[in-house]
Chain A
Amino acid sequence: MQAEVSDVTRRIPGRDGAPPPPLAGEVKTARGQISRMLGAASLLTLALAAAPAHAFIAYVSNEKSNTVTVIDTDSWTVTKTIKVGQRPRGIDFTRDGKFVMVAVGDDDTIQVIDAKTQSVVDSLPSGPDPELFAQDAAGKILYVANENDNTVTVIDLEKRSRLGDIQVGVEPEGMTISPDGKTLINTSETTNMAHFIDTSSRQIVANVLVDARPRFAEFKHDASEVWVSSEIGGTVSVIDPKKHEVIGKVTFEIPGLRKEAIQPVGIGMTKDDKTAFVALGPANRIAVVDVASRKVTKYLLVGQRVWHMAFTPDEKYLLTTNGVSNDVSVIDVAAQKVIKTIQVGELPWGITIAP
């Protein structure tokens, strides 16, 4: 265990004396690089003018392959496969859209991929075994769930330094921040709670018991509700974030499928807060939920063991990662139909799309 600890210390950039390159500021970009970028930008404009719709770039973490797959949402093809560290899972763009952060749990760090060069350029000082993380609205502070030591690590993204740790329940996992940035929600899988953390004091203000193995938390855009999925409990708890109470539950029932096979994980909510999509793991389906009534209106058959999902910024499409079938399903959001399947690496887990 000692060796592991020193390993983590070594990986923290900036500790060896060299100043860490800033992430958000991007002051160090060379002049030549900027003009090259501008050139690329005008090319892109031309391409966009010709194309019927916006093309977006999706990044998918493949837990078993130790790679990140890059998908072009115009052609729906894989354009690149990036080698990353061990066991990549949680993945997200920085707010400025310049970098992709990917938690590589078995290497005890979060790697940073430059979205331009599509290669790993740096790593962040997360705690041991980072899995999922959330960033504040400004993109300056990152909160990381560290499964191995029951903490949430707070990282300053600009300085790339560790600001502190928050003690939470056993096996912290799901992370989300309230739209006003004041509350961080963390779920702990063995403690079975959603912890409400005040982001300014970094103290837990409330703990809400939910069903077994809570994995993912998602705020409604109007901040009136937090939805927490319970993988083993088989439900999604709807929590009032002011009263810190479970005010309702979404349940799932699929004819011909055992209750045990329904294991909710990822949640995606449309910007108008009308429709939620819930990934049901080994049930191989995405449930379409009417947010107001909390009732399932439709089940969409996707790949096997569906984990997480991401909308394209125009919300036309929803992409889901299907762990066991090693593919990504593309859902037409308006039509509520699966229109495409894209083969990616082994055990695709997380997904993020360029803003």
Chain B
Amino acid sequence: MIRWLAGLIGFALAATSALAAEPALIGVGYLGVTGARSTLSLVDQPAENDGVAGARLAIEDNNTTGKFLGQRFTLEERRIKEGEDPVQAATALAEKNGFIITDLPADALLKVSDALRDRGTLLFNAGAIDERLREADCRGNVIHTAPTRAMLADALGQYLVWKKWSRWLLVVGSHDEDKLFADALRRTATRFGAKIVQEKTFEDKGGARRTDSGVTLIQRQMPVFTQGAPAYDVLVAADESEVFGAYLPYRTWDPRPVAGSAGLVPRSWDASQDQWGAIQMQNRFMKLNSRRMTALDMQAWTAARMIGEATSRTNSGDVKKVTDFIKGPDFSVAAFKGTRLTLRDWNLQLRQPILLVDGRMVVSVSPQEGFLHQVSELDTLGYDRPESKCKLK
């Protein structure tokens, strides 16, 4: 006990002297992919700095706090081309940065995670929503601030069931990720008692997203495509590849709402989210980046804030100490979602409410009322502990 106290006092003294001395430098890296994907709506086209802009704001926020604690945060950004080996860039980043926020496809993230494991670098997956990164392919050095497909699907499904729109017409794109989202939606339907009355596939035949007379054609195609479906309440689209989803609202044969990849969309964040003090952050983000904040920006902001939260709580920039604290039972972070966010200790996924947005407004926030859980209602979203296949290494 005495020794413990002495240690504590020593620690406090060290912290005080750190104030006067040089600030502790805490390096955060950001690793993303160059080139933005093309979206159906011009409005949804991501900015060049999508994601890293959120990290940049969190670094500013951390530095405001850091000046009171003698901590200074830096951000180093690297981008790789699609298909390029991510390990080289990640290793270069890891030279100066104990923490790296990534927006990488699942396979690239796994390569980076395995390559950096022995260095002790802590990775934050801000971009990939793949279930397998939290399940069979989970890694002990990767924290996930991005939600998973199952979390997103469950968030949407809870609301649709609450609305009693329980008969779904599921339209699935032909790309792999569309199919993965459709898998998640099917699981949701089973869990919450919705019925998929019919499934349709929308084949990507490789058309252009920008055309001069596109609207006329789409207006004729979509009613025909959705004609003859059994009675349904809502059309649920799985189109992560941005091939047809946004073409569906107002164009279905039957007058039905659209949800999923278009219409009512589940997201970790939205430019219109202004509850729980979020307006302050939205304003700060706008001031810094001259644009609105996306879900990816938020996922990267949260990652960088988690680092700042842990460095201020531990009064340390030591990667090991900070990592242990983040993974420990006392960690939580405030992220303008009305509740503290914590990590699922079995797979290092951040628990979080999911917003349901229509592109202009937040329509609702899941978990919905009445979906109960013995540990945290946030665990009604996605795979729960007993179902998990993750064994952290």
A interface residues with partner B (beta carbon < 8 Å):
1, 129, 147-148, 150, 169-171, 188-193, 195, 204, 207, 209, 212-213, 232-234, 258, 260, 282
Is A129 within 8 A of B280, CB to CB?
yes
Given A129-B280, A148-B283, A260-B340, verify A212-B68 contact (CB < 8 Å). no
Q: Which of A171, A191, A204 has the most CB of B within 10 A?
A: A191
Which among B90-98, B256-264, B331-339 touches the partner chain? B331-339
The answer, yes or no, to whether B377 is at the interface (CB within 8 Å) is yes
Residues in chain B near residue A1, CB distance under 8 A: 286-287
Per the bound structure, the CA–CA distance linking A57 and B340 in Å amounts to: 37
Per the bound structure, the CA–CA distance linking A207 and B15 in Å amounts to: 13
Per the bound structure, the CA–CA distance linking A325 and B16 in Å amounts to: 46
Per the bound structure, the CA–CA distance linking A344 and B151 in Å amounts to: 38
Per the bound structure, the CA–CA distance linking A147 and B274 in Å amounts to: 14
Is A212 within 8 A of B377, CB to CB?
no
- Checking B65, B277, B286, B309 against A193 with a beta-carbon cut-off of 8 angstroms, the contacting residue is B65
17 intermolecular pairs with C-beta atoms under 8 Å apart: A1-B286, A129-B283, A150-B64, A169-B64, A169-B65, A169-B68, A190-B65, A191-B61, A191-B64, A192-B65, A192-B309, A192-B334, A193-B65, A209-B69, A209-B312, A212-B332, A233-B332
Residues in chain A near residue B64, CB distance under 8 A: 150, 169-170, 191
Is B340 within 8 A of A191, CB to CB?
no
Per the bound structure, the CA–CA distance linking A147 and B340 in Å amounts to: 20
Given A170-B64, A192-B65, A193-B65, verify A232-B280 contact (CB < 8 Å). no
Q: Tell me the dominant secondary structure on chain A's binding face.
A: loop
Nearest chain B CB to A107's CB is how many angstroms away?
A: 14
- Checking B65, B338, B377 against A170 with a beta-carbon cut-off of 8 angstroms, the contacting residue is B65
Is B68 within 8 A of A207, CB to CB?
yes
Q: Which of A189, A190, A258 has the most CB of B within 10 A?
A: A190
Nearest chain B CB to A105's CB is how many angstroms away?
A: 9
Given A191-B64, A192-B312, verify A212-B280 contact (CB < 8 Å). no
Residues in chain B near residue A189, CB distance under 8 A: 277, 280, 334
Nearest chain B CB to A321's CB is how many angstroms away?
A: 17
Given A170-B64, A212-B340, A232-B332, verify A258-B312 contact (CB < 8 Å). no
The answer, yes or no, to whether B284 is at the interface (CB within 8 Å) is yes
Q: Which of B263-310 contact A (CB under 8 A)?
A: 277, 280-281, 283-284, 286-287, 305, 309
Q: A204: nearest residue on chain B (CB-CB)?
A: B68
Count of chain B residues near A, Cβ 8 A: 24
Nearest chain A CB to B393's CB is how many angstroms away?
A: 30
Query: 0/1 per residue, B369-388, Cβ < 8 Å to A?
Result: 00000001100000000000
Q: Which of A129, A204, A212, A232 has the most CB of B within 10 A?
A: A232
Residues in chain A near residue B287, CB distance under 8 A: 1
Q: A215: nearest residue on chain B (CB-CB)?
A: B277
Per the bound structure, the CA–CA distance linking A188 and B312 in Å amounts to: 14
The answer, yes or no, to whether B313 is at the interface (CB within 8 Å) is yes
Residues in chain A near residue B284, CB distance under 8 A: 148
Residues in chain B near residue A192, CB distance under 8 A: 65, 309, 312, 334
Query: 0/1 per residue, B342-356, Cβ < 8 Å to A?
Result: 000000000000000
Q: B337: nearest residue on chain A (CB-CB)?
A: A232
Residues in chain B near residue A282, CB distance under 8 A: 338
Query: 0/1 per residue, B238-252, Cβ < 8 Å to A?
Result: 000000000000000
Is A213 within 8 A of B334, CB to CB?
yes
- Checking B283, B334, B338, B377 against A190 with a beta-carbon cut-off of 8 angstroms, the contacting residue is B334
- Checking A193, A212, A213, A260 against B376 with a beta-carbon cut-off of 8 angstroms, the contacting residue is A260
Per the bound structure, the CA–CA distance linking A209 and B277 in Å amounts to: 20
Per the bound structure, the CA–CA distance linking A209 and B310 in Å amounts to: 12
Per the bound structure, the CA–CA distance linking A190 and B377 in Å amounts to: 24
Residues in chain B near residue A171, CB distance under 8 A: 277, 280
Q: B335: nearest residue on chain A (CB-CB)?
A: A232
Residues in chain A near residue B309, CB distance under 8 A: 192, 212
Residues in chain B near residue A193, CB distance under 8 A: 65, 68
Residues in chain B near residue A213, CB distance under 8 A: 277, 334
A129-B280, A193-B65, A232-B340 provided; 5 other pairs, C-beta below 8 A?
Answer: A150-B64, A171-B277, A190-B281, A195-B68, A212-B309
Query: 0/1 per residue, B58-76, Cβ < 8 Å to A?
Result: 0001001100110000000
Is B334 within 8 A of A212, CB to CB?
yes
Per the bound structure, the CA–CA distance linking A34 and B280 in Å amounts to: 44
Is A232 within 8 A of B68, CB to CB?
no
Given A148-B283, A192-B312, verify A260-B68 contact (CB < 8 Å). no
Nearest chain B CB to A136's CB is how many angstroms away?
A: 24
Residues in chain B near residue A148, CB distance under 8 A: 280, 283-284
Is B68 within 8 A of A147, CB to CB?
no
Nearest chain A CB to B164's CB is how many angstroms away?
A: 24
- 5 closest Cβ contacts across the A-B interface? A191-B65, A232-B334, A207-B68, A212-B334, A260-B339
Residues in chain A near residue B339, CB distance under 8 A: 232, 260
Nearest chain A CB to B347's CB is how many angstroms away?
A: 20
Per the bound structure, the CA–CA distance linking A207 and B67 in Å amounts to: 10
Query: 0/1 per residue, B154-195, Cβ < 8 Å to A?
Result: 000000000000000000000000000000000000000000
Per the bound structure, the CA–CA distance linking A191 and B281 in Å amounts to: 13
Nearest chain B CB to A6's CB is how many angstroms away?
A: 16
